[in-house]
Amino acid sequence: MPFETPIRRRGALALGAAPFLLPGLGAAQAPAGELRVATWDLPPSRGNPFGGRSVPSIFVWDALFDPLVRIGESGDPEPALATAWRAEEPTRWRFTLRPGAVFSNGTACDAEAVAATIAFLTSEAGRRSPVGSELREIASARVVDATTLDILTTAPDPVLPNKLALAYIVEPRLWAQGADAFAAAPVGTGPFMVESWAPTQVVLVANPRAFRPSRLARLRVLGLPERPARLQALQSGQVDIALGLSPDNIGALRSARMEVLATPAPQVMSLGFVTEGRPNSPLQDVRVRQALNLAVDRAAMARELLAGLARPAGQGGTAAAFGYHPGLGPMPTDKARARALLREAGHGNGFRMTAEITVDAFPSDSEIYQQTAMDLQEVGVQLELRVIRFPEWLRKFQANSWDGDAFGISWNTAPYMDTIRPYTYMSCLKRPPHYCDREVMPLIESALSDFDRERRRATLHRLHEMTRERPPALFLVEQVDVTGVSPRVRGFRYVNRTIFYEGVTFG
């Protein structure tokens, strides 16, 4: 199912907006042909695109690299470096590659080059990377000819083409020199290539060899962790696009005559439970996990903190992704039942817990977490929120080295827009896992391997129902992305949290 049409609004001129001057940039006038994008962080692994496949890193990586396929507005895979694909056997997919594709240094991006990326992702080091761990079903790649590649899997994988939207293809000879060296000077097939990379900004220039060439000469991506800084940079004309804004910024954006995009995000905001290695944690008891979910008023969060632009969560996916269960409404709020369940579980006097979170990335995320803490306090649970930066969050997530009992995590179906995706990192499948419920694994394994589309949809529906009964997380809201865009920008497309840079120009 495609996303709803984004809200696009403009308002009257703002008066008295406080300037926020950025290092290395002058006031309002931007260099001709340079698009300036403000996000909340830069990729922690710099130009190594296997360090994850999520925002905000992809705002840089999508400019530098291409996967074999990418997901369009319909939620279905579309050609990128591959132009066609089909399952020859349940465990063998054949991909036809784009003829003539080259990396920005002139090296051919042929079947050998793609096979080299697959070989890394299936290696011991590759399996330890976030992307390689999600593509664990891939066994190997086999070159048929220069534009034909077979990818073999260890088990039937009906959504392999979608999953390959996770994997950017890297220049093989440079990658072979080591991940750190490549990350400092990355080379891909995307519309841009790196000119300079500093702690707070990346400057890219157009790649003349790209098969999806940019209409801009340069792209500058700035990492501004605080949302007010991104808003002020846009208002003062120092950037052209500000990502990760909030509904309460919409009035200021309208006043500054900015275009506003309020787009349903393909993710569900939650606090993931940490139970592995914690045998005495109250969260081991399903009644406690149920109680925490019953204590939270999601409808009020969506209505008051997200201005009615988002929906209260009812499952670990959104309507944009395959397998969404339309029969499951929002999770109910019942504080009396929550208190009763806590008493049954031996926690009638409540307990204390800690959650490690990042903030200023998604609309009203700090306020939503604070409201969660207040709701839980009403049933006797004292939630301490500890704010950490995204690079620290990523390290802890990869190693399951959380200090707290929970952590902020999105049930993110992007980039391949299938509700099975978050279960690959919110279940026993993650290595090492932070939560593992063996009872739901048969449904997860079936949904990962069944080629029958309708039977697989039914399996995912049962999985979502069982997840409601045995919650691995405290579900909050289906998030919304609020983006501010200068009126001089034309052709900006933000699809499934991906910026299609090749269509952007200036009016």
Question: pLDDT tens across 359-376, in order?
Answer: 987 889 999 999 999 999
- Reported confidence tier of residue 28, pLDDT bands at 50, 70, 90: very low
**Higher local confidence (pLDDT), 287 or 496:** 287
How high is the pLDDT of residue 272? 98
For 443-488, how does the pLDDT look when each residue is reduced to its tens digit (9 = 90+)? Answer: 999 999 999 999 999 999 999 999 999 999 999 999 999 999 999 9
Same domain, 458 and 335: yes
Domain assignment of residue 182, yes or no: no
Same domain, 392 and 407: yes
b/e per residue 266-275 (b: at least 16 CB within 10 A): bbbbbbbbbb
How high is the pLDDT of residue 25? 46
Cα 448 to chain center, whole Å?
20
For 281-298, how does the pLDDT look when each residue is reduced to its tens digit (9 = 90+)? Answer: 999 999 999 999 999 999
CA atoms of 167 and 357, how far apart (whole Å): 27
Same domain, 398 and 307: yes
Q: Give percent of the chain with pLDDT exceeding 70.
A: 94
How high is the pLDDT of residue 3? 25
How high is the pLDDT of residue 55? 85
Dihedral in degrees, nearest 10, Cα atoms 457, 460, 464, 467: 170
- Reported confidence tier of residue 415, pLDDT bands at 50, 70, 90: confident
CA atoms of 44 and 275, how far apart (whole Å): 27
For 300-331, how does the pLDDT look when each residue is reduced to its tens digit (9 = 90+)? Answer: 999 999 999 999 999 999 998 999 999 999 99
Mean pLDDT of the chain: 91
Domain assignment of residue 444, yes or no: yes
How high is the pLDDT of residue 324? 96
Domain assignment of residue 1, yes or no: no
CA atoms of 470 and 443, how far apart (whole Å): 13
List 474's β-bridge partners, or say none.
Answer: 271
Same domain, 283 and 231: no
Over residues 31-59, the mean pLDDT reads 88
Q: Indicate left, alpha or beta for 215 from its phi (over 0: left) and psi (-120 to 50: alpha).
A: alpha
Same domain, 141 and 207: no
How high is the pLDDT of residue 13? 27
For 53-101, how does the pLDDT look when each residue is reduced to its tens digit (9 = 90+)? Answer: 788 999 999 999 999 999 888 888 999 999 999 999 999 999 999 999 9
Task: Dump the DSSP string for 71-129.
Answer: E-TTSSEEESSEEEEEEEETTEEEEEEPTT-B-TTS-B-SHHHHHHHHHHHTSHHHHHS
Lowest mean pLDDT among 11-25, 395-409, 421-435: 11-25
How high is the pLDDT of residue 14? 29
Residue in 213, 221, 412 with CA at minimum distance from that of residue 321: 412
DSSP helix/strand/coil, 496: coil
Over residues 233-260, the mean pLDDT reads 94
Residue 221: is it exposed, middle or buried by C-beta count within 10 angstroms (0-12/13-18/19+)? buried
Same domain, 38 and 148: no
Over residues 252-262, the mean pLDDT reads 93
How high is the pLDDT of residue 2? 29
The count of domains in the chain is 3
Same domain, 353 and 270: yes
For 171-214, how does the pLDDT look when each residue is reduced to its tens digit (9 = 90+)? Answer: 999 999 999 999 999 999 999 999 999 999 999 999 999 999 99
**Tokens linked to 427:** 């279940």
Q: CATH number for the domain including 461?
A: 3.10.105.10
Give percent helix, percent strand, percent coil of the chain, each to the nearest 5: 30, 25, 45
Same domain, 373 and 420: yes
How high is the pLDDT of residue 495? 83
* Cβ–Cβ < 8 Å for 170, 66: no
pLDDT at residue 419 greater than cutoff 80:
yes
Q: CATH number for the domain including 103?
A: 3.90.76.10
Residue 449, domain extent: 264-479
Domain boundary at 124, 145, 176, which? 176
* Cβ–Cβ < 8 Å for 409, 388: no
Domain assignment of residue 181, yes or no: no
Backbone angles phi, psi at 406, to 5 degrees: -155, 170
Domain assignment of residue 2, yes or no: no
Same domain, 280 and 238: no
CA atoms of 27 and 36, how far apart (whole Å): 13
Domain assignment of residue 183, yes or no: no
How high is the pLDDT of residue 1? 29
Domain assignment of residue 76, yes or no: yes
For 127-156, how does the pLDDT look when each residue is reduced to its tens digit (9 = 90+)? Answer: 999 899 889 999 999 999 999 999 999 999
- Reported confidence tier of residue 52, pLDDT bands at 50, 70, 90: confident
List 219's β-bridge partners, or say none.
Answer: 35, 204
Residue 408's CB is within 10 A of a number of other CB atoms, namely: 25
* Cβ–Cβ < 8 Å for 261, 8: yes
Domain boundary at 151, 176, 201, which? 176
Task: Dump the DSSP string for 252-287.
Answer: HHHHTT-EEEEEEEEEEEEEEE--TT-TT-GGGSHH
Backbone angles phi, psi at 288, to 5 degrees: -70, -45
Q: How many CA atoms lie within 13 A of 189 on its CB side?
A: 26
Domain assignment of residue 241, yes or no: yes
**Residue type at 385 in one-letter notation:** L
Which residues does 385 contact at the CB level (< 8 Å), separation at least 6? 354, 355, 357, 369, 370, 373
Same domain, 197 and 52: yes
Same domain, 395 and 343: yes
How high is the pLDDT of residue 361? 78
Over residues 32-58, the mean pLDDT reads 90
Task: Dump the DSSP string for 305-333.
Answer: ISTTSSEE--SSS-TTSBT--TT--PPP-
Matching residue, tokens 């001089």: 488
Same domain, 388 and 254: no
- Reported confidence tier of residue 7, pLDDT bands at 50, 70, 90: very low
* Cβ–Cβ < 8 Å for 268, 311: no
Domain boundary at 132, 147, 176, which? 176
